Amino acid sequence: MIPFNDLIIFALAALGLVLTPGPNMMYLVSRSLCQGRTAGIISLLGIITGFFVHILAASFGITALLLAIPFAYDVLKYCGAAYLLWMAWNSVKPSSQGLFATQNLPDDSPVKLFQMGFLTSALNPKIAVFYLSLFPQFIKPEYGSILGQSLTLGITQLSISSSVNFCIVLSASGVASWFQGRPVWTRVQKYLMGTMLAGLALRLALGERK
């Protein structure tokens, strides 16, 4: 079983992922603003379903990789740290989008909303890279089944992502207006995210495998 302290650190990385603007975030906010909360929630259900594709693929793939290649942990460790630093840079660079960046979307049927949410999530490379680079850094053979640990991490990330995105869907209109009227807070949000992600990257890169 993964120690609670490690799960907390992983949860912070997962929170950084969901709060860093990307395809899922932009789609949910845009859909909620253009078509309402119900459309946003249906889209979110599709996105959650798409997450399961990544969770299962990463869990079985990482299990096979770590058991077959002894030095795979070290390779993935530094790849994961580099990815978090890349996310940190994308959060603070001048051209980065705010948390509530939007685009205009036409009204769609519930079935299409679910399908688009699913495809947006299942085809999102940010999720796949996050799983493949971060999962191995929290998995230890002495904690039990590698597959079980991978699934635990996946469910943890999914729970955080679903909860945050659900809150965003419900409050998209009000929060988007608040941030648009306060550009200073948009910059503060970017730098807070960047600092948190950079700190996690350093912790993971410098940490010793137990």
Domain membership of residue 201 (yes or no) is yes
Q: How many CA atoms lie within 13 A of 196 on its CB side?
A: 19
Give the largest CA-CA distance in the chain: 53
- pLDDT at 46 (0 to 100): 94
- pLDDT at 159 (0 to 100): 94
Q: Do 173 and 33 contact (CB within 8 A), yes or no?
A: yes
Q: What region does 98 belong to: left with phi over 0, alpha with psi -120 to 50, or beta?
A: beta
Query: Residue 210 above 50 pLDDT?
Result: no
Domain that holds residue 153: 4-95+106-205
Report which DSSP code applies to 44: H
| Mean of pLDDT over the chain | 78
Query: Residue 194 above 70 pLDDT?
Result: yes
% pLDDT > 70, the chain: 73
* pLDDT tens, residue by residue, 154-190: 999 999 999 988 988 888 766 665 556 666 666 666 6
Domain membership of residue 134 (yes or no) is yes
| C-alpha gyration radius of the chain | 18
More confident residue, 119 or 192: 119
User: Is 181 strand, coil or helix?
Assistant: coil
What's the pTM?
0.73
Least confident of 113-127, 157-171, 190-204: 190-204
Cα dihedral sign, 101-201-6-143: positive
Q: What domain count does the chain have?
A: 1
Domain membership of residue 90 (yes or no) is yes
Domain membership of residue 210 (yes or no) is no
Domain membership of residue 163 (yes or no) is yes
- pLDDT at 41 (0 to 100): 93
Domain membership of residue 121 (yes or no) is yes
Backbone angles phi, psi at 194, to 5 degrees: -60, -45
Domain membership of residue 101 (yes or no) is no
* pLDDT tens, residue by residue, 56-88: 888 887 766 655 665 666 666 677 677 777 767
Q: Report the distance separating Cα 177 and Cα 102, nearest Å.
A: 12
Letter for the amino acid at 112?
A: K
Domain membership of residue 89 (yes or no) is yes
